[in-house]
Structure 1
Amino acid sequence: MADLLLPPRSATDIFGDPIDAHPLWFKKECFLKAAFDSESYIADLRTFVPFENLRSELQSHLSSLKHELVDLINRDYADFVNLSTKLVDVDAAILRMRAPLVDLRDKISNFRSSVENSLASLQDGLRQRAEASAAREVLELLLDTFHVVSKVEKLIKELPSSPADWSNGDGVPSGERGSLSNAYAENGTSVRETQSMLLERISSEMNRLKFYVAHAENLPFIKNMDKRIQSANLLLDASLGRCFIDALEHRDAIAIYNCLRAYAAIDNTTGAEEIFRTTIISPLIQQITHNSSSDVEIGTSEDELEEYYQQIMTLIDRDCKFLLEISSSANSGLHVFNFLGNSILKEVLSAIQKGKPGAFSPGKPAKFLKNYKASLAFLCYLEGYCLSGSSVSKFRSEAIYVEFMKLWNVGVYFSLRFHEIAGALDSALMMAALTPLQNKPSDGNISPELTLKQSLTLLESLRACWREDVLIISCSDKFLRLSLQLIARYSTWLSSGLKARKAGNTGSNPGTEWAISAVPEDFIYVMHDIDCLVTEIGSNYLESVLRLLSSSAIEVLDLVKRSILQGGEILKDVIPLIMNAVRESLVEKSVEDLRQLKGITATYRMTNKPPPTRHSPYVSGVLRPMKVFLEGERATKYLTKDARNELVLRATEEITDRYYDLASELVNVARKTESSLQRIRQGAQRRAGASSDVADHNISDTDKICMQLFLDIQEYGRNLAALGVSATDIASYRLLWQCVAPPDRQASISF
């Protein structure tokens, strides 16, 4: 029954699927969903279905839909044809429905036109109203401007007109004193105060006038009033300046306060600062300069600034402190003034540039540093008048402050100090030989333990970098780098000399001659000085540097500490090279005596001498250079116990190695020679008809040589024990013992 429901199969339908069967990914029900979107549907399928396959399936589906539509029409064709016959009088119905719709559209159009006309009329009215309002505002602005100008001119007329009037009586002309008194002096204030109050009021009105002019500067009315405004500005500036000068001369705090507020109101802080500079500061500086010129005639250096600054600070405390306190008072609104920089520092800088131009020259480092530190102290004194950290930062950011600091060329100063300090060390290191100290300095700052001038110069140079009369804290990073460079230079001088000594060539590297001419005792001084320098650098020297930089961050101090300690480690790395040089020198001297060992063969070869009974004379001289070196005054006093033990052990091991090489070669040659002679002797006996089985019971020359060597190495072992070295601990000595000892003594080493 199920087979009857399936569509017919073709002959080529091998697997029994229908011809129009679609793949599993093609789902026809997706087209029937209300939210179906063709683009998203295709995009989803294209991720795993080729475009050609998708297009083929869609075309197949379209074809099947068309076939279904045709089948549907054919199936209900009668109803489809009758549909047109049932549509009777459709046009008449359409006309009946169109009439009310047209009428409604006409009414809506008429209403819309009416609304648009009303809206246009309303917008035109609003525009006219806005224009009228703007015109009214402009008119009010012009009227206010006119009233303010008139008011300012009226108030200015009440002010004195000449500088002489400000010094008449209480500071006003007699003819105007009555009006001023009537207007302001009824409250019991002085006339100078009333003048300053009037000027503050005028300044306030002038500030308002500037605001009006800024908003209507292009109008003809304002342009016509420009001359009146400029005249009022000039009169106000002149009157305010005279009042401020008079207040400064009489130290009238209230009048000064009012004048400063007036200057702040008209945004003319520069005018007040300039008046204070020319009226108060400049005469003071001229007075000090005149006194300094007199001192120069007596004999004082004209370029020194320390005493100059002291006089300036004294006069500032006496004659300027009152104004600085007024301008820096809390909640005064006078923080906009910078009398410290634009008045005091500006005048001081100008006076120094004119009267003491050589003070800024780094050509004389000592004087330059003294003046530089005095200048920093003076700036610190000025910063003492700043009441907060922000005001100090503002003072340091001022153009005059930056200009003042740029005049101090600390870079050139450091370069001069660099050549001075580094040059002294370089001169000491270029000497052709090590220079022991004859009379050691008694200065407590110099270590009395150092023995060489080169080492002493290094320590003096390192300390010179951080002396008070050399160091500039702002260049401390450069001086730290210089210190490390000095240590590296000293270390390079040592290592280069030792390499040249080993290579036996000094021509290509000047400054290494000392190492060629040095004897082992000289290297004791070098090792001792390195130990002293490392100890000094890691303790007292490091502490002094960290104390000078104590104001720096902890991270910075940690980096400084590590870098200095690393410099000490660089020096310690040279000690093994020096030990090798001493060892090689001692070994070479010892080997010179060992070469006499070859004479043993000549002593016993075909001489019929009796067997030896005592050691050879050369044995006593093998370790004599080592013994003399260790018992010398320098080694006894300066060579440490650890260095002594290490040197003795390594040197004796190498000497013993050379001893074994020479002895084993001597024994091997003797045995080969003995064997050759024995074969020759046996051949001669056979030719003579003698029996070759007769044994020679005499001691051979090789045995005598081995006996002599055995006696020698026993004495050598005793000499090693005298130096504190156990011969049995040396591998080459054990081999030497086995090489020359009799068979019955091979098992144990004793002497």
Structure 2
Amino acid sequence: MADIHMPPRPMTDIFGDPLDASPLWFKSTSFLSPDFDSESYIADLRTFVPIESLRSELRSYLASLKTDLVDHLNRDYADFVSLSTRLVDVDAAVARMRAPIGELREKVAVLRNSIGESLEKLKDGLRQREEASDAREVLELLLDTFHVVSKVEKLIKELPSTPADWSTMNASCFGNDSLSKETSLQQIENGTNIRETQGILLERIASEMNRLKFYIAHSQDLPFIKNMEKRIQSASSLLDAGLKQCFVAGLEHQDPNTIYNCLRAYAAIDNTAGAEEIFRTTIVSLLVQKIIPYSPSEADGSTSDELEEDYQQIMKFIDTDCKFLLDISSSANSGLHVFDFLANSILKEILLAIQRGKPGALSPGKPNQFLNNYKSSMAFLAYLEGYCPSKSAVLKFRSEGIHADFMKIWNVGVYFSLRFQEIAGALDSALTSSNITILQNLDKSQGNYHGLTLKQSTTLLDSLRSCWKEDVLVFSYADKFLRLCLQLLSRYSTWLSSGLAARKARNIGTSTPPGYEWAINVSADDLVYVVHDVDFLITELANNYPNSVTQLLQSCSDEVCNLVEQSILHAGESLKNMVPTIMATMIEIIAEKSEENLKQLKGITATYRVTNKPPPVRHSAYVSGILHPLKVFLNRDHASYLSNKLRSELLHGAAEKITSRYYEQVSELVNNLRKAESSLQRLRQGAQRRTGVSSDLSEPSISNTDKICMQLFLDAQEHGRNLASLGVTAVDIPTFCSLWRCVAPPESESKISF
């Protein structure tokens, strides 16, 4: 087996790379790029390669290139040297090949010129053919135009200019034979077939005119067409006059076939506005002006700006005098859907009549009348939409410019502003009073006005309900009335919260902002009515009020109704959050009155310090007066306006507040007494040590501090009994337990009993 000699492996470094390998940043393939630039190449490499390393690498690469060149020359040197010996008589061979190639080149040039000439002739022929074709098309177009104009003129001449000419038109249309004469006479007798025949002829002329418009649109710059403009305009004018005459006759006689043909003719010449205007001026205007004259001085009798009765009469005449045309224009597969007589004839005339004859009906300055007229107008629009055969027809009716103009004359925004000032102004006037106003002749057993007691509260509820009254609400502005409703609730809540905050700030010496003077002089009795009204409003806003509002919005989606209800309930939460603040203010006022009796505590100290009074055996007289303001408050008639829940909260809150203040004063008194007694004891002991005299402790005596604490303990027991008489458990009050531990003897501290 032959030995297999592997090629020698190149020398590598310790990382396995060849020792002569180029660094990664040196790419020899870059020199082969067509747009290689040495200066930019060196400038790019110098940013991260030292110039010495770059110079060294380039020199190494140059040396390797030279070596490769020498290797290539040495490898193929023998072939290169022998090449010259094999190239014998090369010039003669080249001369022999050059002659046929030259001949071939000349033949190709001749053929190319021939083909080019043929191609140019072919292109010229095609161009002439195209020009001839275009000229032929133009000529045909002009001939067609001329024929159509002549045909239209001929047909127009057959039209009678007056009803007296109809017999002539009949004779020309139907011939001179006896049968035609009999038909002619029959048509003249009834007049109906004559109008129908005229309508058919007009429709035919209109279709030809439509065709003529197409030709003119494609050749309007040609001199021939410009020369025929007068003839075309004359034919168009005669057609319009004939159409108008026939259409008016059809309307007056309510001839459906004649009207149908005339409408198709108007649609063919794209003059729907002309038919709509003729119907408005011929039929609608005469009838509407009898009901709403353009000049108020022409009206017979009353000059009222109410529109309800006018709309009723207009609807009657539409049913009798317009319905036939509306049915024709809306009939299925008639192609007459391009007409909109509802908007551009009927509604347009009514809009003009109202603006000219009854401009006062559009004035928001009389809100009640304006709202009645607006609702009547919206109902009338709904009545007109009833004549639309499909939903798309309704959308088309609403998209008409006249419909938009009719809606613009009703300035609902100004109406809402006036209602806003009226509703919000009434509440603001009630809330800016310097005192709260209690309604007269309140009788809770028989009920009172809205179940409320304050003028401010009744005004709020009246304002809230006014937002959704039938004679106030505009359904399209329901969102703005909802916002007004929420603003009213916010205003009332702000009036309460800011007033009570001003009262609290006044107690610490801060000046009262204007508008909240009522809260400075308010008594606990007045706050009973306030909290009663707030509680009543919370119940109303949680039940009856949102239900009545959502019933008015039944046509809206369930999502909208839910959002409206949630917004009202959220606004009611602001009132609910006011109840604790009002109750705290009432409790504070009662506690302040009770604090007057607590000032007698100082008399206990004076009594036992000045006189050698024996230890107390009964409570002090002031104790019964501590809870007296609370008892009096709860026994008055106005307390019946408090619900059982609020009454219980008031009782326990006031008892705890009064007891807390009682404890604060007792605790301060006892601490001061014990500090004074401790200081006096230290002074006595120091004097005894200086004199060397010891005190006789065989006969213990009761100090004044002990006597005072005994009196306070008896008073605390009586206070507990007074709390129990009101239905309050004293041990449930933390401050009472602290009071007990402060004054009770050591053996009674752990057990509270009285």
Task: Return the TM-score normalized by structure 1.
Answer: 0.89
**SS state of the match for residue 600, structure 2?**
helix
**CA 1:590 to 1:62, structure 2 compared with 1: closer, same or farther past 3 Å?**
same
Give the Å deviation of 1:659.
Answer: 1.6
1:620 paired residue among 619, 624, 628: 624
Give the Å deviation of 1:424.
Answer: 0.7
**CA 1:236 to 1:468, structure 2 compared with 1: closer, same or farther past 3 Å?**
same
Using the aligned pairs only, state the percent identity. 63
Asked whether the 8 Å contact 2:288–2:314 carries over to 1, the reply is: yes
Asked whether the 8 Å contact 2:306–2:369 carries over to 1, the reply is: yes
2:361 paired residue among 355, 359, 362: 359
- 1:155 equivalent to 2:155? Answer yes
Amino acid at match of 2:364: P
1:734 paired residue among 729, 737, 745: 737
Deviates more, 1:56-65 or 1:485-494: 56-65
Give the Å deviation of 1:714.
Answer: 0.3
2:170 paired residue among 162, 177, 195: 177
**SS state of the match for residue 613, structure 2?**
coil
**SS state of the match for residue 605, structure 1?**
helix
**SS state of the match for residue 716, structure 1?**
helix
Give the Å deviation of 1:737.
Answer: 1.7
Tell me the residue number matched to 1:716.
719
Asked whether the 8 Å contact 1:501–1:516 carries over to 2, the reply is: yes
Tell me the residue number matched to 1:213.
216
| Structure-to-structure mapping, 1:419-434, within 5 angstroms | 419-434=421-436
**CA 1:124 to 1:291, structure 2 compared with 1: closer, same or farther past 3 Å?**
closer
For the residues of structure 2 that align with 1:688 and 1:7, how far apart are their CA atoms? 120
Give the Å deviation of 1:255.
Answer: 0.2
- 1:579 equivalent to 2:583? Answer yes
**SS state of the match for residue 251, structure 2?**
helix
1:190 paired residue among 189, 193, 204: 193
Tell me the residue number matched to 1:591.
595
Amino acid at match of 2:256: A
Amino acid at match of 1:156: I
Listed one character per residue, the Cα deviations across residues 317-352 of structure 1 (whole Å, up to 9, x for unaligned) are 111110011111111111111111111111111111
Tell me the residue number matched to 2:374.
372
Asked whether the 8 Å contact 1:181–1:191 carries over to 2, the reply is: no
Asked whether the 8 Å contact 1:293–1:302 carries over to 2, the reply is: no
Give the Å deviation of 1:71.
Answer: 3.5
| Structure-to-structure mapping, 1:42-53, within 5 angstroms | none
**CA 1:464 to 1:153, structure 2 compared with 1: closer, same or farther past 3 Å?**
same
**CA 1:400 to 1:227, structure 2 compared with 1: closer, same or farther past 3 Å?**
same
**SS state of the match for residue 190, structure 1?**
helix
For the residues of structure 2 that align with 1:17 and 1:312, how far apart are their CA atoms? 105
For the residues of structure 1 that align with 2:54 and 2:442, how far apart are their CA atoms? 103
For the residues of structure 2 that align with 1:699 and 1:628, how far apart are their CA atoms? 39
Asked whether the 8 Å contact 1:292–1:302 carries over to 2, the reply is: no
Tell me the residue number matched to 1:133.
133
Deviates more, 1:720-729 or 1:262-271: 720-729
**CA 1:226 to 1:682, structure 2 compared with 1: closer, same or farther past 3 Å?**
closer
Listed one character per residue, the Cα deviations across residues 43-63 of structure 1 (whole Å, up to 9, x for unaligned) are xxx99x978889976774454
Tell me the residue number matched to 2:235.
232
Deviates more, 1:516-525 or 1:308-317: 516-525
**SS state of the match for residue 336, structure 2?**
coil
Aligned-residue CA RMSD (Å) = 3.5
**CA 1:6 to 1:713, structure 2 compared with 1: closer, same or farther past 3 Å?**
closer
- 1:391 equivalent to 2:374? Answer no
**CA 1:59 to 1:746, structure 2 compared with 1: closer, same or farther past 3 Å?**
same
Return 5+ residue gaps in structure 2 as ranges.
39-43
For the residues of structure 1 that align with 2:415 and 2:550, how far apart are their CA atoms? 23
**CA 1:350 to 1:106, structure 2 compared with 1: closer, same or farther past 3 Å?**
same
**CA 1:750 to 1:97, structure 2 compared with 1: closer, same or farther past 3 Å?**
same
| Structure-to-structure mapping, 1:415-494, within 5 angstroms | 415-439=417-441, 448-494=450-496
For the residues of structure 2 that align with 1:17 and 1:431, how far apart are their CA atoms? 99
For the residues of structure 2 that align with 1:257 and 1:15, how far apart are their CA atoms? 102
Tell me the residue number matched to 2:350.
348
Give the Å deviation of 1:21.
Answer: 4.2
Amino acid at match of 1:90: V
Give the Å deviation of 1:4.
Answer: 12
Return 5+ residue gaps in structure 1 as ranges.
none
Tell me the residue number matched to 2:88.
88
For the residues of structure 2 that align with 1:436 and 1:14, how far apart are their CA atoms? 106
| Structure-to-structure mapping, 1:104-119, within 5 angstroms | 104-119=104-119
Give the Å deviation of 1:289.
Answer: 2.9
Task: Return the TM-score normalized by structure 2.
Answer: 0.89
**CA 1:445 to 1:680, structure 2 compared with 1: closer, same or farther past 3 Å?**
closer
**CA 1:55 to 1:242, structure 2 compared with 1: closer, same or farther past 3 Å?**
farther
Residues paired across the two proteins, number: 728
For the residues of structure 2 that align with 1:4 and 1:128, how far apart are their CA atoms? 81
Give the Å deviation of 1:2.
Answer: 11
Asked whether the 8 Å contact 1:450–1:532 carries over to 2, the reply is: yes
For the residues of structure 2 that align with 1:564 and 1:325, how far apart are their CA atoms? 48
Give the Å deviation of 1:145.
Answer: 0.9
Listed one character per residue, the Cα deviations across residues 66-102 of structure 1 (whole Å, up to 9, x for unaligned) are 3232244346645433322321111111122222222
Amino acid at match of 1:319: D
For the residues of structure 1 that align with 2:546 and 2:14, how far apart are their CA atoms? 98
Amino acid at match of 1:453: K
- 1:541 equivalent to 2:545? Answer yes
Asked whether the 8 Å contact 1:196–1:255 carries over to 2, the reply is: yes
For the residues of structure 2 that align with 1:279 and 1:346, how far apart are their CA atoms? 14
**CA 1:207 to 1:16, structure 2 compared with 1: closer, same or farther past 3 Å?**
closer
For the residues of structure 1 that align with 2:577 and 2:693, how far apart are their CA atoms? 72
- 1:566 equivalent to 2:570? Answer yes
For the residues of structure 2 that align with 1:128 and 1:3, how far apart are their CA atoms? 82
**SS state of the match for residue 568, structure 1?**
helix
Listed one character per residue, the Cα deviations across residues 623-654 of structure 1 (whole Å, up to 9, x for unaligned) are 1111222232222x222333233333333223
Tell me the residue number matched to 1:332.
334
Deviates more, 1:230-239 or 1:286-295: 286-295
**CA 1:310 to 1:233, structure 2 compared with 1: closer, same or farther past 3 Å?**
same
Amino acid at match of 2:648: N
Amino acid at match of 1:492: T
Tell me the residue number matched to 1:400.
402
For the residues of structure 1 that align with 2:468 and 2:262, how far apart are their CA atoms? 50
Amino acid at match of 1:632: R
Give the Å deviation of 1:560.
Answer: 1.2
For the residues of structure 1 that align with 2:214 and 2:222, how far apart are their CA atoms? 14
Listed one character per residue, the Cα deviations across residues 433-481 of structure 1 (whole Å, up to 9, x for unaligned) are 2222225799x99974212111111000000001010000111111111
Tell me the residue number matched to 2:41.
none
Asked whether the 8 Å contact 1:430–1:510 carries over to 2, the reply is: no
For the residues of structure 1 that align with 2:67 and 2:78, how far apart are their CA atoms? 19
- 1:529 equivalent to 2:522? Answer no
- 1:503 equivalent to 2:496? Answer no
Listed one character per residue, the Cα deviations across residues 249-301 of structure 1 (whole Å, up to 9, x for unaligned) are 01000000000000111111111111111110111012113599699764x45
For the residues of structure 2 that align with 1:55 and 1:141, how far apart are their CA atoms? 84
For the residues of structure 1 that align with 2:750 and 2:197, how far apart are their CA atoms? 123
Tell me the residue number matched to 2:65.
65
**CA 1:205 to 1:656, structure 2 compared with 1: closer, same or farther past 3 Å?**
same
Deviates more, 1:66-75 or 1:740-749: 66-75
Asked whether the 8 Å contact 1:523–1:582 carries over to 2, the reply is: yes
Tell me the residue number matched to 1:382.
384
Tell me the residue number matched to 1:410.
412
**CA 1:334 to 1:571, structure 2 compared with 1: closer, same or farther past 3 Å?**
same
Tell me the residue number matched to 1:202.
205
For the residues of structure 1 that align with 2:418 and 2:11, how far apart are their CA atoms? 110
1:630 paired residue among 623, 634, 637: 634
